[in-house]
Every structure is written in structure tokens, then in C-alpha cells.
Amino acid sequence: MTENIAILLGNRKYKNLNDLDCVGNDVAEMKKLISATGKFSNIYCYLDRPISEVKDDLKVLAKSHTQTGELFFYFSGHGVSDQDNFYMCFSDFNEVIPNRSGLSRDEAYDILREFNPKQAVIVIDACASGANLIKSGANFLEAAPKGKFNDFLQIGSCLNDQSSRAGEELSRFTDAFIESALIKESGVVYYSDIESGLRDAFKSLGGQTPHFVSQGTGLAEFCGDANSLSSLRAEFFLVDEKSEIVEPPEVDAVKVALAEIERIDAEIPEQKEAQAFIDGVFQAGFEDGANLDDLSGIFEQRIVKYDDYTHVDNYQAIYNLLQQRPGNDVFVEARRWEKNPKSRGSFIDQLTMPALFPDPIEYSYSLENLCELDSVHVGIYFEPKRKSLNRVFSEIVFIPRLTECLILTSNTIELRSGWDSFKPSTSRKEWKWSHHKWAADPSEVVFSEVQDPYDFLRSYVLRFSSSRS
């Protein structure tokens, strides 16, 4: 006898990433929705559980549920992708060991296949916007998984080069998913109804576009009777017919506008003050630690400073970050355009098979410093004095905005390509980013957010002691 099973995963607390307080509510509200359908005999919830326990539990469940009708899988939390896979991040997530500290898309699907489901529904709400890790991602949502599901639907909260947005009580995507499931008041609620609702909800929201992949008839049912959701619908939409309409007090719109202008102006520094902040962060994070101490015998450092972004790697990641944080300035202008634009042709041409399955669009990017602040890109080369050592490159990039400054840091190892030469890393650079008001103390910014280049250098050297042991 088949049974329907729901698995809800969520992680809100992180050691190395920003916490996502809304995730607890995401999982709780999704559980209410799933329960209200009345069709799932087992609902398993995992919130802030160690990834090793989650994997072990799922494998045990798969062994005990080998004849599954519908398998509904949901995840809310941070998500990170690279050229190979997408990873659901748990509390100890570390991008150096993503397969051990996270749950990869491929591993998750391998486990889910063991349930032998007739229908699999995968919903991923990956709030990567708070991860403070930006890089070019794999197209993890643009194809069906390897292997075979009889009937498969995958719903992702955003495209691979975008970020899902966290909200106050619920993430925007989970909130829109639940609302889309509750809009219909009678009849069958199909997953296609939810898909239509999600498309409409994010149609005008730049920077986030839900993505859908399906294999099947398109007639998959989420709930057989919308009436069974009526209680939850009333709670979700806060329907209260008896409440009195209270007229809002009259306000002076001009006074409100002027007060807001004053508030914003108070956060905008003079140009020399903004420059002092940038110089202060560099000094506190790089120059004040210029003494290599016990490593001075094997490394010497060379500092480079640039007033533009010509030497910055991975424009795409920075462009995406700026798209997620729109503002009322172009202190730094980020642009994107198609490398090889092709004519879309007539309407009939667009209905041909090549148009239905187009080649992926490739883009070029540019990043220009228009605000004339100096030293917006600074790096330290740690030049090795021993042939057995590679070169370490640490850099910090400042993206000035009107009321804040985005700070990006990265540490990389450049392998030796000759007796006295090194080859810069060819992989997409990963940036750790943070944002700060201009009035922030540079020393506190460095202490709390900036990756210490000297700690990274020391950890690189210590690899030699561990390899010897």
C-alpha cells in the first residue's frame, strides 16, 4: 500500500553565515499547509539539525518507506552553488568541504529515489542573499536530475545567478508559495495553480525569478479539495469580517518626506570622510598587521592599490550583488550585455524547435568607479622565499554607495608555474561580502567582517605540519 510522505528541512542558525530567523516560521507554516491537505500520512520535520543526522535519518526513512505515492521535499535556508552542484547549507557549512557540511542536490536526489515515489515534488527556498558568499553558480535548476523519477516537479525560489530574499516572518518565496496554494477556494488545487501563482507573485520583482522543472502530465494534485484548506486560508489572510474599519489619522505628507530626507542625509558622508573610512579599513585590516612575525623568514609582502576595478575577478558575482541591493546612486556602475546578441526573429520563428530550446545566453560585464574615491581595490601579495611554497594573494574591494559601503574580501593561493613565476587561480573567485554604514568604526568592521589575510597565510603554512604528521 502506497503512502504520501513529506520531508521538511530548514536551517536558521549558522556558524559561518548569517542567521536566517524566518526559516523557523517557513518550516512551521509549510507544515500547517501540508497537514491541511489531509493527504500526507507522514510529515518529517528537521530544523537546525546537524547535517550528518539529517542524512542518516533520511536514509533510514527511505528503507522503511519503499512504496511511496507522493514524496514532497522542502528546504529553507542558505544555498550555495559552484560549477558542479548546488548545496543546501546547514549550521556548520564550509564551502571548502561542501559535500560533508551540506546536502548537495545530487545526494539529496539519490536518497529520495530510494523512496521509490510515484511522484516527487522538490521545493527549494535557498536564501542565498544572506550567505555573504558570492560566486558564479552552476545551472543546478535548469535541468531534471540524473536518473528517473516517474513523475517529477522541481520548484526553485530563484535562478542560479540570483538570490532568494529573506523576509520578516516568512521568506518571500515560501510566503508566496503558501498564498498561491490557498487562493483557490473550491475544487482541486493543482501544482500548476501554485506555479501560476508564483509566476505572478514575482513577475514585477526584479532579481528573483522562481524556476520550474517538471517531468509528467502537468495534472499533479497538491490538494484534492480546496475546502479542506479553508481554516488555514482564513488564518493566513487574516479574514475578520467583524473588525471595524479604522480611518488612519491625517498626516502631513510633506513633513514626512522632509523627515525622511533628513534621516538619509545624516547617513551620507562627505567625500573625504568616505575616503577616510576606506583608508581606515585597509590600515586596520592590512597595514596594521604588516609584521609577519614568525613568517617573515619565508614570506615578504607586496601591496598593490588600484583606483578602479580593472583587476577585479568575477564581475558577474558583483553585478548580481548590486542587483540585489538597488540604490539611488551609481557611485559604482555595473553593466551587463549579451556577448553575441542574436535576432529573436518573428513570432513564428520563435515557435520553432531551436527557439524552444535555445542556447544559454552568455553575458559580458563591466564595473566602473564613478565616484572618484581612491584605493577601491587593494591587494597583498605574500611572495614566498622558499621554492616549496606558493604565492598567497589577499585582496579587499570597496563598493561605495550613497549611505553605505560594501566590502568584499578574498584569499587565494597562486600555484608556482616556474622557478620564479606563479599562475593566478583560473577558478571563479569567491567573495565574502558585508555592508557597513560610513560612520562605522573601521577597526570594528575589520574585526567582525573582514577575512584576516595573515590568518589565511598562517593556515596555509600549517598545512605542511599536518601533512608531515
CATH of residue 54's domain is 3.40.50.1460
The verdict on 293 and 232 lying in the same domain is no
User: Alpha helix locations (H) across 164-240?
Assistant: 172-182, 191-201, 230-236
3 state DSSP class of 217: coil
361 belongs to a structural domain: no
Q: What are the angstrom distances between the C-alpha of 356 and each of 191, 294, 344, 350, 351?
A: 23, 61, 11, 7, 6
Q: Are 397 and 306 a contacting pair, CB within 8 Å? A: no
333 belongs to a structural domain: no
Q: Which domain holds residue 464?
A: 269-325+372-468
Say what the pLDDT of residue 135 is.
Answer: 41
The verdict on 232 and 293 lying in the same domain is no
The verdict on 188 and 317 lying in the same domain is no
Say what the pLDDT of residue 137 is.
Answer: 40
**Last residue in a domain, options 189, 215, 236:** 236
* CA-wise closest residue to 116 among 159, 71, 78, 74: 71
Say what the pLDDT of residue 359 is.
Answer: 59
User: Alpha helix locations (H) across 250-393?
Assistant: 253-266, 271-285, 315-324, 347-350, 353-356
246 belongs to a structural domain: no
Q: Are 145 and 95 a contacting pair, CB within 8 Å? A: no
Residues written for the chain: 469
Say what the pLDDT of residue 255 is.
Answer: 87
What residue ranges in 48-181 does DSSP mark as E strands? Answer: 68-77, 79-81, 86-89, 102-104, 117-126, 133-134, 152-156
**Last residue in a domain, options 220, 236, 252:** 236
**Into how many domains does the chain fold?**
2
Q: What would the grid cell of residue 301 be?
A: 609582502
356 belongs to a structural domain: no
Say what the pLDDT of residue 47 is.
Answer: 95
The verdict on 314 and 435 lying in the same domain is yes
Gyration radius of the chain's alpha carbons: 26
The verdict on 275 and 232 lying in the same domain is no
- List, run by run, the mean pLDDT of 10-residue segments along the chain (469 residues): 92 84 92 95 95 95 91 91 79 84 90 91 70 41 51 74 51 90 93 89 64 75 92 77 58 85 92 96 75 84 94 86 80 89 54 50 90 94 94 94 91 92 81 88 83 85 77
The verdict on 285 and 414 lying in the same domain is yes
212 belongs to a structural domain: yes
421 belongs to a structural domain: yes
The verdict on 278 and 213 lying in the same domain is no
The verdict on 304 and 222 lying in the same domain is no
The verdict on 397 and 275 lying in the same domain is yes
Contacts 24+ apart (CB under 8 A), 336-343: 336/363, 336/364, 336/365, 337/363, 337/364, 338/362, 338/363, 338/364, 339/363, 339/364
Q: Are 127 and 171 a contacting pair, CB within 8 Å? A: yes
